[in-house]
Structure 1
């Protein structure tokens, strides 16, 4: 049961419902995240950059294009990072030849270790029951082909069904298999045209100017993330060792190694900062391009509703596992019912909280509410690709074994934790 009560900050009437957080829509009291009155410099800068880009996007509308100078700059920086990796290998060989003693060997090992950390990681598809190929899901892949033809995407090679409330597209492995990652909880709460919008958006990432989807830039970002984690761990270990045994030779050696790693990583961190700065702008532009194609393919309203459910219908993995343990394979049918029972004041809280938490210079996606405004401004009333009842049922039948397997696995994991 819900009741009205005055806000302790502005005295406006607010809804009190024991199932959800109490907050004030008027002054955003108890909304969460950072308080709007105490915003950081980064948040202010992020807001200005986001507002400026959004205004330009609204002006250009359907003529929006991805890429541009930021994409070119990101690719050049990524190439430089990979050259550093190759340079470490060349330097290791040179050092061993020029300094044929233990010092040279240790230096070469350090250089080769750095090159190994920075190696391009192409990913690997898991061998499991959650993969779908064309032979096992012809109707799903037929739908993907129709949507791909509209958005200019090449054919998908494989679909991987996941338990996360998300979806993604990428090229995986040495052969670069085009992979659609389909989150079961998100798929379950979407209507037919919303599903078309989701697929159109994800497939558009193959050609929307999102530089992160390219192997050159994507592997460079991954390499820098690995180096950053290792450098931080070594530097922390060196400081801890020095503090614990300040007079020992081992402590001094650890501290020296930490300092050397910090200096070696400084240049890479600066390159990483620049790469993120230029690639995030292209990434956000790419999201708008993908949204435009989704709206054109499925209709503006379907795209807007799909984007809104990304936020309002989110189910965390812990809650999903509890639901799977309670309802078994029927959990996917219950998720839309569960979302439909959420009151509007809670849905609005989730929307505003998402907008606030995405306030970051390096966030790769524009805030959802701005993306919803953009797709609605396009005015695409009629869909180009329609998912009818018969086709939708056939697609669901092909996905059903994978969805059931995920629900079963989540339920079993939850029960094991409960009985432990």
Structure 2
């Protein structure tokens, strides 16, 4: 989604990333509007990015092996010191596998069978499988990721976004997110993502000292070459993965349309356009709820009231507010988010093709059962 404002200060890497995003985004948009079908694929740049990532991890492994060898060799104590330093460096650069969030309610399959059944049904449309765990948080967003050594799947479900969507738009949202597991999004793959983090750590170690003293100026001079090489490596990874990442978003939107219908996918884009209004409304309603809270009221009732007010407020937004956000998006272009095409362009691409019906149709009874399964999470998040 488009954040509210572009960052005022951008580093060289971020400026280069935005330039590349604009270039790739314009080309992808031309392909889609010309009627060309985007398909998930591992092209040469994606394979090159994986090769670089494996090289980065190879250096980390070499540091680990060298540290162990130095500690075992000893060299009268000097080797032990060097070995411990190399081991500490390898530890800081290790590939970090994400885990489960510790600040969000978790829903397992036994606790929400209807929601998981819906996700499984949408996953079949996306040619993938469902998720292993659902985490419900307070973000106006949704995302999928993997966690743990076994690569188990996690859906991060932002309740403020879920509550303002229609049942079909929720299906489109699930289709979009689940599609990321099958559409070849290289940058968010385990190998490249962990290597990117390792390179960022390397760059941090060689970042020039701000306001240096005369002695520190000499250190900065020594840092110049490795820092420039690392910066260049990060820019190269951006160049190799940005197009695949933006292609993945358009592919995910097409799956959202197949799952929930083109109309629902377009409606989802409209809700994303007013995400800032949703967040602001949520803050206002939260403050009102806190001010009027009484000890005798149940937490679940207060939560229901909060979500109902939020949905009513967003549903009452006039059409000209959506149009205003689209025009703002045109002015921003790719200046805000380099990994996602601007929301108004994604909406335009959905409207360019032939409208498709929903492969998964919302059912009132199922919606009520899903709402009951989310009741405790709604109360906790509220």
TM-score of the pair, normalised by structure 1: 0.76
Shift of 1:197: 0.4
Q: Distance in 1 between matches of 2:230 and 2:20?
A: 24
**Map of 1:165-244 to 2, 5 A cutoff?**
165-232=140-207, 235-236=208-209, 239-240=210-211, 242-243=212-213
- The answer to whether the 8 A contact 1:194-1:303 is kept is yes
Counterpart of 2:252 in structure 1 is 290
Structure 1, 339-348 or 299-308: larger mean CA deviation: 339-348
Question: Would you say 1:359 and 2:321 are equivalent positions?
Answer: no
Match of 1:314 in 2: 276
Q: Distance in 2 between matches of 1:185 and 1:214?
A: 27
From 312, 315, 339, give the equivalent of 2:314.
339
Match of 1:154 in 2: 129
Structure 2 SS opposite 1:207: coil
Task: Go from structure 1 to structure 2 and tell me whether the alpha carbon gap of 1:230 and 1:99 turns closer, same or farther (over 3 Å shift).
Answer: same
Shift in Å, 1:126: 3.0
| CA pair 63-279 structure 1, distance change in 2 beyond 3 A | closer
Is the CA contact 2:183–2:251 (under 8 Å) kept in the aligned structure 1?
yes
CA–CA separation in structure 2 for the residues paired with 1:399 and 1:192: 14
Task: Provide Cα deviations, 1:266-302, integer angstroms capped at 9, x if missing partner.
Answer: 4333222211211111111111111111111111111
Post-superposition offset of 1:215: 1.0
C-alpha contact (below 8 Å) 1:312/1:351 kept by paired residues: no
- The answer for unaligned runs of 5 or more in structure 1 is 1-30, 35-39, 247-251, 408-420
Q: 1:324 aligns with which of 282, 286, 298?
A: 286
| Structure 1: distance between partners of 2:71 and 2:275 | 58
Matches within 5 A, 1:56-135: 56-62=31-37, 64-93=39-68, 100=75, 107-127=82-102, 130-135=105-110
The structure whose RCO (Cα within 8 Å, separation 6+) is larger is: 2
Distance 1:109-1:229 versus aligned 2 partners, 3 A rule: same
Contact (CA 8 Å) 2:5, 2:336: kept in 1 or not? no
- Report how far residue 359 of structure 1 moved: 1.6
Unpaired runs of at least 5, structure 2? 8-14, 290-301
Q: What is the CA distance between 1:186 and its match in structure 2?
A: 0.8
- The correspondence for 1:267, drawn from 220, 229, 232, is 229
Q: Do the aligned partners of 1:32 and 1:353 also contact (CA within 8 Å) in 2?
A: no
- 1:281 aligns with 243
Distance 1:83 1:203 in 2: 31
For the 8 Å contact 2:135–2:157, the answer to whether it is kept is yes
- What's the offset of the Cα at 1:133? 0.5
Q: RMSD of the TM alignment (CA)?
A: 3.1
Offset of residue 162 of structure 1? 1.1
Q: In 1, distance between residues paired with 2:228 and 2:248?
A: 30
**CA–CA separation in structure 2 for the residues paired with 1:264 and 1:134:** 48
Partner of 2:369: 394
- Total equivalences in the alignment: 360
Q: How far off its partner does 1:203 sit?
A: 0.5
SS at the partner of 1:134? coil
Structure 2 Cα separation of the partners of residues 219 and 42 of structure 1: 19
Matched residue of 1:190: which SS?
coil
Conservation of the 8 A alpha-carbon contact between 1:146 and 1:385:
yes
Could you tell me how far apart the structure 2 residues matched to 1:267 and 1:109 are? 26
The Cα of 1:204 is off from its aligned counterpart by: 0.6
Partner of residue 382, structure 1: 357
> 3-state SS of the aligned residue for 1:77?
helix
Q: Tell me, yes or no, if the aligned pair for 1:71 and 1:278 is still in contact at 8 Å.
A: yes
Query: Contact conserved, 1:163 with 1:317, CA < 8 A, in 2?
Result: no
Following superposition, the deviation at residue 140 of structure 1 comes to 0.1
Cα drift, residue 213 of structure 1 = 3.0
CA distance in 2, matches of 1:68, 1:185: 37
